[in-house]
Structure 1
Amino acid sequence: MSASHPVLSVRDLTVTFRTSRGPVRAVDRLGFEVRQGETLGIVGESGSGKSVTSMAVMGLHTGAEVTGSVALDGQELVGRSERELNRLRGRRMAMVFQDPLSSLHPFYTVGEQVAEHHRVHFGSRRKTARERAVDALAEVGIPEPRRRAGEYPHQFSGGMRQRVMIAMALVCEPDLLIADEPTTALDVTVQAQILELIARLQQDRGLAVVLITHDLGVVARVAHDVLVMYGGRAVEQADADALFATPAHPYTRGLLDSLPRLDDSDDAPLRVIPGSPPSLLTPAIGCAFAPRCPQLVGVLAGARSRCETELPLLDGPARHPAACHFPAYEGMAS
């Protein structure tokens, strides 16, 4: 890991929504860092808190209580006014969402929409911003960028629309890029192209990247470090090589076991983690994964009481902590 200071530093981040059925703590005391030129992959099932985390970093939650610390290049973001955050969004940090068609306005050309970001943050003239937009479209691999800048979103394929969104995010050369499920709606071939594009742009620009996904296969391709979330909390953190070689938390092992394998027969059933994610309206006293944990069967049945009543903390080796009372690297059979 680079010795430079982190571009993004998150400490004790907690996000709580007030609902008619009671408070929902969607993110609970989360912490991580991302440095220049590195990619952090945040993974977990739907409802684990991944997207809530990314929106909190960008300051996009309205009506939610956000506490803790989110620092961008040492500058605290929690508690900043909307006006101050607007100056940073796009200019210093940018986000690419899952569905580019819903993020692009159908009434304006893609060139106008990319150029608008440059005009807002730099006060550039229309012609200058237009030229910068064409350059950005070329940089992300849009063929004939000058001609295509004059076209509308519906004239682009899904993969090309996502390239436009990446161009829009990077036109102001931010330090941090958050990509929230950027390839979920794309086929495998286009998905690979988008991931390679993000990796190339990161290398060329020295970007810090946070990649939000439910797919560990995607993480394996591009991430340097991995944060696994479950029930709004971090359950395991490690560099990608260590996590894939020796996953410590049973939830991480379950996610890895769910990946299709090349040696599977055509009629082999998909492997799944039994049960459902926990309800955040009634948080568990102990480990939220305990009701689904395969380790609490057979030889470890006597440990169930501890797992159900004692909250495991993110602990263990400094470079590979896990929130589990019986992590695999302590010799526990998987």
Structure 2
Amino acid sequence: MSLLEVTGLEVEFKTAEGVVKAVKGIDFTVERGQTLGIVGESGSGKSVTSLAVMGLHRSAKVTGSVRFDGTELIGAPAETVRKLRGRRIAMVFQDALTSLHPYFTIGDQIAEAYREHHGGSRKAALARAVEVLGDVGIPEPARRVHEHPHQFSGGMRQRAMIALALSCEPDLIIADEPTTALDVTVQAQVLELLKKLQQDRGLGIIMITHDLGVIARVADEVLVMYGGSAAEQAPADTLFSTPRHPYTRGLLDSLPRLDAEDGEALRSIPGSPPSLLNPPPGCAFHPRCPVYAADPNPLCTGERPLLKLVADGHKNACQLDGVTA
């Protein structure tokens, strides 16, 4: 049994302009000790997917199946989800400065989460806070546990967020852009910390980011999202060596290269991500796709493409994969 099994996940929001289909039929699994990377541009549905797994959508229609260690979470009683959230499924949110409460100390915030699930005295919970702050590399944790978020640097706040997530010893951590706005040195430290904690504790991790460099460093499996749908899914080594979807190739081509000639301009994907309120017909990427631009094919504007197995462990949602002229 997989630690997490997501099948046919769909998330819709009602707005004054109409229904926004933010996530459309996403499938993936996460095993114990495995890191799944979810990548894509802003607006692709990455964070909406993670919040659906956590049961944190309040005004959205969420359908499909999210099974955690055999327990179905979609449609489950709120109390069932609440007991799992934070205790066995934890999340490292995108912006540590806004995710941590400015009024309360770091220690109080970690202690509150610990007492919610484990009970015990405030003194015991603060001792646990000191322990996990030390685990994530905060110097002098017994002193800094009494400091407020603004007294921590950006990298230390992110470590405090990871400590908060680890305080109840979860089985799965969802890290939503955990290295955003951090310099490359601190970014590397945070990633190494997550990797070490995973090795020590057998954690399942979902790493959500737009940074393919981060994914290359930590992920075992990669899910590429575009316009709320899955575009490609494969083991990390396979995806980076033989990407098959034009969108994935565009993302990889946009990375800076050490072997680039002096003065060579960075490549980019032309156009903008699609409107989720009024998406284009068929493949949502076709208006920006260089393959379609060179040779328009009616398959690209017909039915919405779904992931299909194109090689061992490699799935692709491009309608033209395997189609010969």
TM normalised by structure 1 equals: 0.94
Find out whether 1:14 has 2:10 as its counterpart: yes
> Which residue does the alignment assign to 1:306?
299
Distance 2:166 2:111 in 1: 11
Q: Deviations over 1:88-114 (max 9, x none)?
A: 111010000111111111122111111
- Post-superposition shift, 1:269? 2.0
Segments of structure 2 that go 5 or more residues without pairing to the other structure are none
Distance 1:25 1:310 in 2: 16
SS at 1:199's partner residue? helix
Distance 1:32 1:113 in 2: 32
SS at 2:297's partner residue? helix
SS at 1:47's partner residue? coil
Q: Deviations over 1:133-184 (max 9, x none)?
A: 1110000000111111111111100000000000000110011100000101
SS at 1:321's partner residue? strand
Distance 1:211 1:38 in 2: 10
> Which residue does the alignment assign to 2:150?
154
Which one-letter code corresponds to 1:292 in the other structure?
R
Distance 2:176 2:244 in 1: 25
Q: Indicate conservation of the 8 Å contact 2:108/2:126, yes or no.
A: yes
Which one-letter code corresponds to 1:310 in the other structure?
E
Distance 2:282 2:108 in 1: 52
TM normalised by structure 2 equals: 0.96
Which one-letter code corresponds to 1:325 in the other structure?
Q
- Post-superposition shift, 1:331? 8.9
> Which residue does the alignment assign to 2:188?
192
Distance 2:50 2:318 in 1: 25
Identity of aligned residues (%): 64
Q: Indicate conservation of the 8 Å contact 2:299/2:320, yes or no.
A: no
Aligned match of 2:167 in 156, 164, 171?
171
Segments of structure 1 that go 5 or more residues without pairing to the other structure are none
Find out whether 1:285 has 2:281 as its counterpart: yes
Aligned match of 2:213 in 207, 211, 217?
217
- Post-superposition shift, 1:85? 1.8
Distance 1:297 1:122 in 2: 57
Quick check: 309-318 or 9-18, which moved more?
A: 309-318
Find out whether 1:132 has 2:128 as its counterpart: yes
Q: Indicate conservation of the 8 Å contact 2:230/2:306, yes or no.
A: no
Distance 1:44 1:142 in 2: 31
Distance 2:218 2:53 in 1: 21
Q: Indicate conservation of the 8 Å contact 1:202/1:208, yes or no.
A: yes
Which one-letter code corresponds to 1:322 in the other structure?
N
Find out whether 1:90 has 2:86 as its counterpart: yes
Distance 1:12 1:54 in 2: 14
Q: How does 1:94-133 map to 2 (within 5 A)?
A: 94-133=90-129
Find out whether 1:317 has 2:311 as its counterpart: yes
Q: Indicate conservation of the 8 Å contact 1:98/1:185, yes or no.
A: no
Aligned residues: CA RMSD: 1.5
